[in-house]
Structure 1
Amino acid sequence: MAADETRPRAVVLGAGMIGIDLIDKVCRSTKLDLALVVGRDCDSLGLRRVADMGHPTTSHGIDAVVDAGPFDIVFDATNADSHAEHWAALRSTGATLIDLTPTGLGTVVVPGVNGHRSAVHRHLNLVSCGGQAAIPVLHAIAQRCTPTYIEVVSTGASASAGRATRLNLDQYIATTSTAIRTFTDTRDVKVMVNLSPARPAPPFRVAMTVLADRVRSAPVRTSIAAAAEAVRAYAPGFKVTSLAVDPGRISVVVEVTACGGRLPRHAGSVDIINAAAVLLAEQAAGSRWRELRP
């Protein structure tokens, strides 16, 4: 596949379910050019599939990215344990690194809440799929009242959770909890994750409970509706399926289904974080590209 030198060059680290969908989304973007897909095992099924799709690949890990660069955007769809090494290798290259692993490193960014920060920071952290689904809603609620307790329960299909996701569940919970505290200014936060083996596979579902004083129903409902609309602009499968606003308590359930591409509909967790990643990459690359080109 020939490179398009008129667009910023993007690299995807990782060729699992998240990486494959990222590749599809980058290729559909009119603002990014997929330059390389990187793995560590030349015999991995994912990397072979990517090569069969006609994309340039390497099995030599982050060293290959440094040697073949410079690149403008690097998506890290590997695992939390490897991410710090990747940032250390790329820090001096000028690339923007977008972290889809739950490391908690870098500048935490959620489109629709603080997406503008993608233009001024080179190390971006996307929290987690649950964080991307919950934080826009929770941030909207926190603008209308002062939460004293927030509980978030994410339920995804087992089939949509790869090996790296399962290995990183502790980091997922810790990083998501920290981000929710930051975006809502709420100290008491509890995050739980369920992987469901049900058949047919259920859609990605995030249930949120917020305890707060002086809750006014109309403003809260209006803010949640606006937040949901903003998320749907880049993740069309996002919807609020249940909302109850009672004195002292707000209960919200959102579901995310994957739309388009090769993802099954139940893989909304993958779809929302990848959609957020590509949107931020386009914004970051667009800003820097304008600076570099007349």
Structure 2
Amino acid sequence: MTTCNPDVERPTVATIARPATVAVIGTGAIGQDLVSKISRSSALTCALVAGRNPESAGLRHAELLGCPTSAGGIEAVLSADRPFDVVFDATSAAAHREHWPRLEPLGSLVVDLTPSKVGAMVVPAVTGLDAGGSRNINLVSCGGQAGVPIARALATAFPVSYLEVVSTVASVVAGRATRLNLDEYVATTGQAVTAFTGVSDVKAILNISPAVPPAPFRTAVHALIPGADLTRVREVVESAAAEVRRFAPGYEILAASVTGDRVMISLHVIACSEVLPPYAGNLDLINSAAIMVAEQHATRLALSEAAL
């Protein structure tokens, strides 16, 4: 099984004079891990962590890391003395749909970690980090970040007629927001698979496993590919996985099989985090993508300021 060090370096971030100021809305497991990752980034500085429960573990965690905190939720972000360079929304799909119209006038880059489908979808291993100038970036879902790179690689190399992405998360890391977002999760993941592969016949499934001890986050990608060659399939998916491992080193292909025209790829993600357990690879994966997007934005801001 893959083991990870949370201090493993991500792709090089340009040295910048002024780290980008960052606000995090949401103090659950995703928010706590984001704060830890921000604290290790030379390109970002945590300027506010906003929740709604003054006694939440997430606010206490942020305070221990020296981040300003508030129990005022989005109101604390909106009432800040100056807009933040980046705002991470780690709440729920329904909440983000309400947040975006209020955040948009601030001019911040908003990185949406919910399956709201409001912003431009970004899967770094497929799209890169640029969302075509959009200031609302949607990271699809954990299953989307895990499955889309493999689905895209297969659809690019072979005549794929059907794709299915099935993710399984441990019940103990499927919090209230995840359970509220189940319908949006499935719909948004399916939409992303179609958008990035061109395959219209797709299905997305999320399983919440009560297994004890909790199993690592797993995703299986099923495809219909006439005449698929197993050796070529393995080459294609390993190349795609290597791109994901550039920012999420716990991403690992477990198996690839071809039975007739049915292709199955199985993978898991081990969390590389100071605060998440190893089996919470789903959260680590989407957060790692979010941090990379924010760091790229910080670099662009620094270059723009240097040119003035």
Q: Does 1:13 align with 2:11?
A: no
Q: Does 1:249 align with 2:262?
A: yes
Q: When the two structures are aligned, how many residues end up with a matched partner?
A: 291
Amino acid at match of 2:36: D
SS in 1 for 2:298: helix
Q: Identify the match of residue 124 of structure 1 among 137, 151, 154.
A: 137
- Is the deviation greater in 58-67 or in 6-15? 58-67
Deviation of 1:6 (Å): 1.4
Q: Identify the match of residue 147 of structure 1 among 157, 160, 171.
A: 160
Deviation of 1:7 (Å): 0.8
What residue is the counterpart of 1:156 in the other structure? 169
1-structure distance, mates of 2:64, 2:157: 51
Matched ranges for 1:273-292 at <5 A: 273-292=286-305
Q: What stretches of structure 1 of length at least 5 have no aligned partner?
A: none
2-structure distance, mates of 1:204, 1:236: 14
Q: Does 1:25 align with 2:37?
A: yes
- What CA deviation, in whole Å up to 9, does each residue of 1:86-132 have, x standing for no partner? 21111121100000001111100001211242473211000000000
Deviation of 1:34 (Å): 0.9
- What CA deviation, in whole Å up to 9, does each residue of 1:116-159 have, x standing for no partner? 42473211000000000000111111111122111121111111
1-structure distance, mates of 2:17, 2:73: 24
Deviation of 1:163 (Å): 0.8
CA contact (8 A) 1:145 1:214 kept: no
SS in 2 for 1:112: helix
Amino acid at match of 2:60: R
Q: Identify the match of residue 55 of structure 1 among 55, 58, 67.
A: 67
2-structure distance, mates of 1:118, 1:27: 25
Q: Does 1:234 align with 2:253?
A: no
What residue is the counterpart of 1:260 in the other structure? 273
Deviation of 1:40 (Å): 1.8
SS in 2 for 1:186: coil
What residue is the counterpart of 1:101 in the other structure? 114
- Is the deviation greater in 118-127 or in 150-159? 118-127
1-structure distance, mates of 2:163, 2:136: 28
CA contact (8 A) 1:119 1:287 kept: no
CA contact (8 A) 2:273 2:284 kept: no
What residue is the counterpart of 1:210 in the other structure? 223
Instruction: State the percentage of identical aligned residues.
Output: 45
1-structure distance, mates of 2:64, 2:38: 17
- Is the deviation greater in 50-59 or in 140-149? 50-59
Deviation of 1:216 (Å): 3.9
2-structure distance, mates of 1:88, 1:129: 24
1-structure distance, mates of 2:77, 2:224: 46
Deviation of 1:247 (Å): 4.1
Amino acid at match of 2:37: K
1-structure distance, mates of 2:221, 2:89: 28
Deviation of 1:39 (Å): 0.9
| CA RMSD, Structure 1 to Structure 2 (Å) | 1.6
- What CA deviation, in whole Å up to 9, does each residue of 1:216-256 have, x standing for no partner? 44443222111101111110100000101344221100100
2-structure distance, mates of 1:229, 1:17: 26
1-structure distance, mates of 2:64, 2:84: 23
TM-score normalised by L of structure 2: 0.90
Amino acid at match of 2:144: G
Q: What stretches of structure 2 of length at least 5 have no aligned partner?
A: 1-15
1-structure distance, mates of 2:272, 2:74: 31
TM-score normalised by L of structure 1: 0.94
